[in-house]
């Protein structure tokens, strides 16, 4: 049988269209079963609707595996006023009360899947040492005074009490939650991950980028800090 060229071409386009979207849908059945995709995006590209939860298509770049597995079993509020583009934002309604809770086996499977979602082409290990106390005090001044990060983010003060603004995600457990490599890339260019976010673009020099990353990684709930 002779197939007209046009048909072949259309067929090829259809195949691309189908496999293209299949890429986005190639998530485990668990995502569908738990309806994660109704709130979160698992693939990049233009948002189809107003998003109600943070994007997860770079979860593997962003999160520490251990934290993620635990969060899926015990979700906690990170954005104290809700997700930035969530309609509940100004009403100050945190949403984790609605969040699905996975059992340990589901959490393990989901964590493996989420950790495979990456957008950074390369993210060489940073291996930044912890800041000395003296340096930390200096970076704290950058964080609080020079760049006003604290206006939008909760962080620890010198006596390890949380304080700061709530319009951005809390950084209180960032040292357990986020990968330093991702924090560094985020501070370099947040738009590379969240196109229409509200985090300012700062154009830091290399030294400042590293210092701020070290400072953020110092924030750990379970570590008394020295």
Nearest approach in angstroms of CB 127 to ligand HEC is: 18
40 in contact with ligand HEC (CB under 6 A): yes
Q: H or E segment at 164?
A: strand 162-164
162 in contact with ligand HEC (CB under 6 A): no
Nearest approach in angstroms of CB 11 to ligand HEC is: 35
Nearest approach in angstroms of CB 122 to ligand HEC is: 20
Judged by beta carbon, residue 11 or residue 88, the one nearer ligand HEC is: 88
Cβ neighbourhood burial of 202 (10 Å; 0-12, 13-18, 19+): middle
- Among residues 66, 160, 163, 198, which is the contact residue for ligand HEC, using CB under 6 A? 198
Angstrom distance (rounded) from CA 202 to CA 188? 8
Q: H or E segment at 210?
A: helix 206-217
Q: For residues 82-111, which are near ligand HEC according to CB under 6 A?
A: 83-84, 94-96, 98-100, 102, 110
180 in contact with ligand HEC (CB under 6 A): no
In eight-state DSSP terms, residue 48 is: S
Q: H or E segment at 162?
A: strand 162-164
Judged by beta carbon, residue 156 or residue 186, the one nearer ligand HEC is: 186
In eight-state DSSP terms, residue 104 is: H
What number of residues does the chain have? 226
Spatial contact of 83 and 95, defined as CB atoms under 8 Å apart: yes
Judged by beta carbon, residue 131 or residue 187, the one nearer ligand HEC is: 187
- Among residues 44, 51, 64, 148, which is the contact residue for ligand HEC, using CB under 6 A? 148
């Amino acid at each position: 049988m002779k197939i007209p060229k046009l048909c072949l071409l259309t067929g090829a386009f259809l195949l691309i269209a189908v496999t293209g979207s299949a890429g986005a849908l190639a998530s485990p059945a668990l995502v569908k079963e738990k309806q994660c995709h109704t709130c979160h995006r698992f693939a990049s590209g233009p948002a189809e609707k107003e998003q109600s939860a943070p994007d997860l298509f770079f979860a593997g770049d962003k999160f520490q595996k251990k934290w993620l597995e635990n969060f899926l079993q015990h979700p906690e509020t990170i954005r104290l006023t809700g997700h930035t583009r969530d309609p509940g934002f100004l009403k100050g309604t945190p949403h984790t009360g609605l969040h699905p809770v996975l059992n340990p086996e589901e959490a393990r499977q989901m964590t493996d899947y989420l950790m495979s979602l990456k957008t950074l082409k390369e993210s060489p290990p940073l291996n930044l040492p912890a800041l000395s106390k003296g340096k930390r005090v200096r970076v704290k001044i950058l964080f609080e005074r020079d760049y006003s990060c604290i206006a939008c983010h909760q962080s620890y003060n010198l006596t390890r009490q949380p304080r700061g603004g709530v319009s951005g995600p809390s950084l209180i457990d960032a040292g357990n939650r986020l990968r330093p490599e991702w924090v560094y890339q985020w501070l370099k260019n947040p738009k590379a991950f969240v196109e229409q976010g509200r985090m300012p673009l700062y154009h830091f020099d290399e030294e400042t980028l590293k210092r701020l990353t070290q400072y953020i990684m110092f924030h750990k709930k379970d570590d008394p800090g020295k």
